[in-house]
Amino acid sequence: MADDDVATKAPESDAAEQSLFSGDKKADQGASMGEHCTTDRPTPEGEKPTGELTKLDDVDVYITKPADYPHAPSKLLLLLTGGTGVRSTNNQLQADRYAAEGFLVVMPDQFNGDPAPTTSTAVQTEQNPSLIETVKMRAVEVAKSFTIDMWLARHTPATVLPVLHRVLNAAKDEFADAVANGGGVYAVGYCFGAKYVLMLGSELPDTVAHGQKATDEEAGVVKKEASIKCGAIAHGTMITREDLQHLQVPTYLVCVEGDSLFPDDVREEGVKSLQERKVEHEVKLYSDVPHGFAVFGDYADSKIKEAQTEAFGQMLGWLKAH
């Protein structure tokens, strides 16, 4: 199988894909990424983005607007991507879909020009590989894991959150009309970006949220206002119990049953916390679909296509209802 074949292989195979990182505590440690988070699916033929790449506070952003904006009111939506980042055609098309529904979408470069390395490989895969081929494939998997580990080490809450706040502050100034019309900022997040939607909707100071030692004031459990009004996420990665336990804004969660990158026990404990604290939320649990299915891209399996369309409609409906 050549590189190009791997990059556009049938994504249904992701349904069986496991985390690149071993260990029972991978979700709490926050180090889980897979091919679905780092490699785009085929783009549907004839689809082209309609927004523009520009800058807000010197951060690269993709901005896409409703066709009738500013003549008709809009609402500001922050869209946070998976590892493929702001220059991914599929991510740009995903943003365009929300713009077509009336949202002014700002999609920032969370990774400062350093999107996740692709996990595709030129190693041949055979139905019954020889011992040598098996060893080669395992070596490639180890190399992938190391590469993604190094990338994740460069992109932590300590580096990502300041970028997001810069973009949010600049967007609030430039598109104050959209913020006012929506009564705040809306946010959606996919894969890597899902965690940061939860963090922006958190009551914790950023320093506590990304693991730094709390100041005396923060140690006294001084809370902050969330940076967003409401959110919607799809198949998050690296989400911890704490991310959900401190969420305070209405949030819709699209999840995959048995997802090793967002384990059931983490989700269930988090949802229990939301229920106890009476934080408005809704969970849609999908089965027999791959992690990453809701990200825009072409699928051969009609069931996955239908689930992708359904998930978009649910997330969109949640945002419009709030």
Q: Give tens-digit pLDDT for 56-107.
A: 999 999 999 999 999 999 999 999 999 899 999 999 999 999 999 999 999 9
The larger pLDDT score, comparing residue 4 to residue 73, is at 73
Residue 309 CA to residue 299 CA, distance in Å, equals 11
Q: Which token pair is 9? A: 């292989």
Tell whether the model's pLDDT for residue 15 goes beyond 90: no
Q: What is the domain partition of the chain in residue ranges?
A: 3-321
Q: Which of 197, 204, 202, 237 is nearest to 219 (CA)?
A: 204
Average pLDDT value for residue range 278-298: 94
Residue 21 CA to residue 39 CA, distance in Å, equals 17
- The CATH number of the domain covering residues in 3-321: 3.40.50.1820
Residue with tokens 């401190």: 246
pLDDT of 206: 61
Residue 110 CA to residue 192 CA, distance in Å, equals 10
Identify the DSSP state of 54.
E
pLDDT of 217: 46
Give 90: exposed, middle or buried? Use CB within 10 Å, 0-12, 13-18, 19+: buried
Q: Which of 35, 91, 23, 29 is nearest to 239 (CA)?
A: 29
Average pLDDT value for residue range 281-310: 94
Model confidence band, residue 255 (pLDDT cutoffs 50, 70, 90):
very high
Q: Of the given ranges (78-92, 143-157, 274-288), which has the lowest mean pLDDT?
A: 143-157
pLDDT in tens, 108-135: 999 988 887 764 333 334 445 565 555 5
Tell whether the model's pLDDT for residue 136 goes beyond 80: no
Average pLDDT value for residue range 150-160: 83
- State whether residue 153 is helix, strand or coil: helix
pLDDT of 196: 97
Average pLDDT, the chain: 80
Residue with tokens 């969109």: 316
DSSP E strands in 149-303: the ranges are 186-190, 230-234, 251-256, 281-286
The larger pLDDT score, comparing residue 151 to residue 177, is at 177
Q: Are 215 and 204 in contact (CB under 8 A)?
A: no
Q: Of the given ranges (130-144, 265-279, 281-295), which has the lowest mean pLDDT?
A: 130-144
Residue 91 CA to residue 86 CA, distance in Å, equals 7
